[in-house]
Structure 1
Amino acid sequence: MLGEVRIVYRLAAMLGGLCLFISACATPVSLHGTKPGAGVAPTQAQVPEVMGPLAQNDLSISAETAGAQTFPVPAPILSPVIARIALLLPMQSETLGAAAAAVRAGFLAAAGQESSDAIRAETVESGDALPDVLASYGNASFEFDIVVGPLSRSGVSAIAQSGAVSKPTIALTQIDTQDETKTVLPKKMLIIGLSIEDQARQMAGLMHARKPTGTAIILTTPTSWQRRAAKAFAERWLELGYESELMELDISAQGTYLGANGLIQLQKRIQTEKPPFLFSALDAVQTRQLRMLIGQDIPVYGTSQLNPLTMTQWSSADPQPEMNGVRLVDMPWQLQADHPAVMAYPKPALPGETLPSADLERLYALGIDAFRVAKEVALGQSQFQIDGVTGKLRINLAKETGRFERIEMPAVYRGGRVVAVGAAK
């Protein structure tokens, strides 16, 4: 069965002319009978459980922004092999196919820049259902030296609890913690997925350096990823010795805009309590709506979800002066074009009139760093650091359970646009 769903890449030498989208290549991906390009162009309903925010409603990808992004296969190059990597992705998934394609494209882009080491990587179809994920993982860990994946929170949780982790496994998303219990990761498992919770905790640390006084207000809605971000910030803020109050705002029936009643109540609380700042576990549209009502006098801080555009889009987008002064954290791929790692890898090209997507760009960047981490593990490194396109990465596999840390870049709205800053001020 694996032979039917696997595409082999020989990645030992430079993959010159690597093209990432169907419009630029003649040979598109076709897995297990899938027509070339099928299942890759997402709609709003196609990205419920991915990474980063990686849970339902975490990624805001529409047909307009994602378009027909597809990712073709480069010609194989034969060479000696020192490590075999299985890239375990749900390429045929209706819900995760677009995200999987973006991660794989970034993985291949990074592999194309590595010409000194012979590493063979194969894309292995994982499927969506947990039995399929577990079966694919079991086969992959038997045949390969390293497994990169899976892509869903439920899949990572199932593998972590299965007792089947016998090979180095680099999971591409966070573990599912809906049951409020803490899963102890297997010794050979490392989780490098994008994390909205880690961003919230990092922002709490940046705010701690300002030594604020008073009780902060944390804003969220019933949306799951926003609640997770709010909770992570509150817990870290308490650990640092500060107080906060959580305020959950209602949203419109369409789930996009904040309700008027909640905003009026918030405005009254700000006038009465005069909090030192607001932590916005909201998205960019909701935070802009908030700012238009309360003004710019009170500082607002948040996560990468306050940055809805790519660097390319910001160069031509209309400024959003209502957001000036709002601070956030995001990855170098989204903020710093002259970052050494960002400059080293190709940007994904878009066919025709397709608009870029910030969330797909983040997943593409995750694929780049996933290959770089896997390469170091393949070379036998147990403790190392990478100045990655998703942030500064610190990996320590010498511990009983693998430790991973990602530090992202501070940013601020200035002149109506998001720009990187050296440190939160």
Structure 2
Amino acid sequence: MPNRFYPRTKARLPVSIPTVSKTRPLKGARLLLALSLGLALGLGGCGTSPDKPASTKGSQQPAKLSAKALLEQAGQAVSPERERLILAAAERYIETGKYEQARRLLIDMESDTLNDDAYVKHTDLLANVALQEGSNILAFGILTKPRLEQQWSAMEPAQELSLREKRAQIFDLMGEAERSVSERVLLSSLITHKQSEKANLNSLWHSLMSINLARLEQLAMSAPGDTERGWYALAAIGKNNQLDLDQQQTLLQRWQREWRNHPAQSNLPDDLRLLKSLIASQPRQIALLLPQSGRLAEAGQAVRDGFFAAYYQALAQGRQVPEVRQYDSTGDIIAAYEQAITDGAQLVIGPLDKEKVTELSLLPGFKVPLLTLNYPEPAPAQAVDNLYQFGLALEDEARQVARQAYSEGHRQAMVIIPEQEWSERSARAFSAEWEKLGGIVVNRSQFKTGSNYSRLVKDALLIEQSQQRTTQLQNLLGIKLETTPRSRGDVDMIFLIANPAQARQIKPTFAFHYAGSIPIYATSQVYTGEPNAKVDRDLNGIRFNTMPWLFDTASPEKQAIKQYTQSAAVYDRLQALGADAFRLYARLPQLAQIEQMRLYGATGTLRMLPDGRIEREQIWARFRNGLAQPLPMVVNASEEY
């Protein structure tokens, strides 16, 4: 992948500190140059002879000096003292949040020529800057160099702890969960602070939970070392049987008997620790409030199909299931909610209609928990007891696009959306997340269905300005020039919201207008959910986030729906919503109490935000040869087709 984190020409301070020999002091003209450069940097006078560099013996210690003063001393010093002072200056910049200045110093250094101690320090500092600036691929490269692997045995514990923590972070960010787990297991033997130990455990568990169940079970048998195998075995229990609390508790008790000396015995992950209380408090009766007539009747039926597919699958496996009573949400929603409670409901799921969700959300309080299947508008100003919000929010998808594109090195985005209110909300969510991360939205364009997509793309890419420049140059020179118009150079990713038909016309237009190499990210609307290589070949290269449900051919719930219903593919996502509503019913208190808790559902990885809103993290896919294919967390930008 091209390095998008820093300019191809290295960014430098106004004047670089001159390179000097490792063994000889600066003399004569070279020293005078160094002194003048130090003054140009505003570092002050040196007061030394041009034939002999000032000694640092007895001078103020680095811990008490500013970055500028350290650089002044470095301008007079010889290696390895010179490099030590530059590293100290970079560290001072980092301590004061001046990451750009630190980066410029560090990337100007030839790290391969540093001695081992300085190399380790340089690695730690530059990785720190890269992580702070979101330059994940750069950080990954820095922290996985072979030379670093040779230094572990000679490091001080504090230095090793710092580097291993950064490695664990970047492995997790880059989708290298198993490597992150290994680092965190090693970290557990270095950490002595209780709070840090707990934070490391939470991060370790998060990495474990990102690994699929089959791989966890395999690693529980083959991972190096008893401690890692025990963690993988415990994670398999946490990942498996998320729908069956009783079975999960039984497996946990068996693990505790078999792994008596494992460090997790005295510090179980929070979600497993709460199993007993969840079993005791899970609802025995649920009310399902869905539209049974009117314009949303078919949508309500799709949600109902998904819910009961999951329900009967649980029943077939001998799991405990609640009694479910259904109510029509088409009429008076307050009356339906109150009737459900009167009838004994301990949890209410629904409604689906945004207006009715908003109406319910305005109640002064909720006697029993309410899990809505849409989001109120506007959102409640603060968390409301017993109100949980779950739905297929397009804003979640847009924010996820921003995080993914930023993690893959992009910084300058073009946004192209249809002229519709829901797409406006998605674009705002993307832009807010993108700018919070540090990205820039350089252009935003809107289109109407059936509009001139060529003109849309041409205007967005400033092709006409390029053609005008050529015309002006021809008029100036009085000759005809053979030139190719160029698209704008300040865009390194495109965020596209479009349905499949629109995207099939827009995507090729970028290639026609000389921008075919700019990666395009989209939300789930770009895919119908049904493979069709012939018509979708024009979507090749587009990356989009989508539900695991669409690619889960082995799902028994999905197979049951296909067998017993005649629903159109357009309702697949609502069926997944219904299936996850059933999966959530017993886990709501767990999600509410544990920030790190994740439920791996049909619509994505689910977590609860502090305001009771359930956010989805979807999987990634890309069109290749006309077919949508699931992707790892971070993809290679050079592999488009």
Q: Same fold (TM over 0.5)?
A: yes
1:243-290 Cα shifts (integer Å, max 9, x gaps): 103423231xxx455555323312436813441011002222222211
The residue that corresponds to 2:618 in the other structure is 408
Partner AA of 1:275 in structure 2: V
Residue 403 of structure 1 and its aligned partner are, at CA, apart by 4.7
**Does structure 2 conserve the Cα–Cα contact (< 8 Å) formed by 1:109 and 1:346?**
no
Higher relative contact order (CA 8 A, sep 6+): 1
Bigger mean CA offset, 168-177 vs 198-207: 168-177
The residue that corresponds to 1:152 in the other structure is 353
Q: Alpha carbons of 1:246 and 1:161: their partners in 2 closer, same or farther (altered >3 Å)?
A: farther
Q: RMSD value over aligned CA atoms?
A: 2.8
Residue 324 of structure 1 and its aligned partner are, at CA, apart by 1.1
Residue 395 of structure 1 and its aligned partner are, at CA, apart by 3.9
Counting helix residues as a fraction of each chain, which structure ranks higher? Answer: 2
Please show how residues 17-416 of structure 1 align to structure 2 within 5 Å. Answer: 83-93=284-294, 95-115=295-315, 116-127=319-330, 132-143=332-343, 144-177=345-378, 183-213=381-411, 215-251=412-448, 255-256=449-450, 259-268=453-462, 271-295=487-511, 296-308=516-528, 310=529, 313-314=530-531, 318-338=534-554, 342-343=555-556, 345-349=558-562, 356-358=568-570, 360-377=571-588, 383=594, 384-395=597-608, 401-416=611-626
Bigger mean CA offset, 277-286 vs 228-237: 277-286
Partner AA of 1:370 in structure 2: A
CA distance in 2, matches of 1:345, 1:355: 11
Aligned residues: 323
CA distance in 2, matches of 1:168, 1:239: 33
SS, match of residue 207 in structure 1 = helix
Bigger mean CA offset, 135-144 vs 151-160: 135-144
Residue 233 of structure 1 and its aligned partner are, at CA, apart by 0.5
SS, match of residue 553 in structure 2 = coil
Residue 184 of structure 1 and its aligned partner are, at CA, apart by 2.9
CA distance in 2, matches of 1:250, 1:319: 22
1:316-368 Cα shifts (integer Å, max 9, x gaps): 55252221111010000112435xxx35653423789x68323x001001100
Residue 402 of structure 1 and its aligned partner are, at CA, apart by 2.4
Q: Alpha carbons of 1:120 and 1:378: their partners in 2 closer, same or farther (altered >3 Å)?
A: farther
SS, match of residue 124 in structure 1 = strand
Q: Which structure 1 segments of 5+ residues have no match?
A: 1-11, 13-80
SS, match of residue 431 in structure 2 = helix
Q: Alpha carbons of 1:92 and 1:206: their partners in 2 closer, same or farther (altered >3 Å)?
A: same
1:215-268 Cα shifts (integer Å, max 9, x gaps): 3111112112211111110010011011103423231xxx45555532331243
Residue 100 of structure 1 and its aligned partner are, at CA, apart by 0.2
Partner AA of 2:446 in structure 1: L
**Does structure 2 conserve the Cα–Cα contact (< 8 Å) formed by 1:333 and 1:390?**
yes
Partner AA of 1:361 in structure 2: D
SS, match of residue 598 in structure 2 = strand
The answer to whether structure 1 residue 421 and structure 2 residue 631 are counterparts is: yes
Counting strand residues as a fraction of each chain, which structure ranks higher? Answer: 1
Residue 421 of structure 1 and its aligned partner are, at CA, apart by 0.8
**Does structure 1 conserve the Cα–Cα contact (< 8 Å) formed by 2:442 and 2:491?**
no
1:98-124 Cα shifts (integer Å, max 9, x gaps): 110000111111110123214101110
When Rg is computed on C-alpha atoms for both structures, the one with the higher figure is 2
**Does structure 2 conserve the Cα–Cα contact (< 8 Å) formed by 1:222 and 1:248?**
no
The residue that corresponds to 1:35 in the other structure is none
Q: Alpha carbons of 1:118 and 1:379: their partners in 2 closer, same or farther (altered >3 Å)?
A: farther
TM-score (norm 2): 0.47
CA distance in 2, matches of 1:375, 1:234: 35
**Does structure 2 conserve the Cα–Cα contact (< 8 Å) formed by 1:147 and 1:167?**
yes
TM-score (norm 1): 0.69
CA distance in 2, matches of 1:203, 1:244: 13
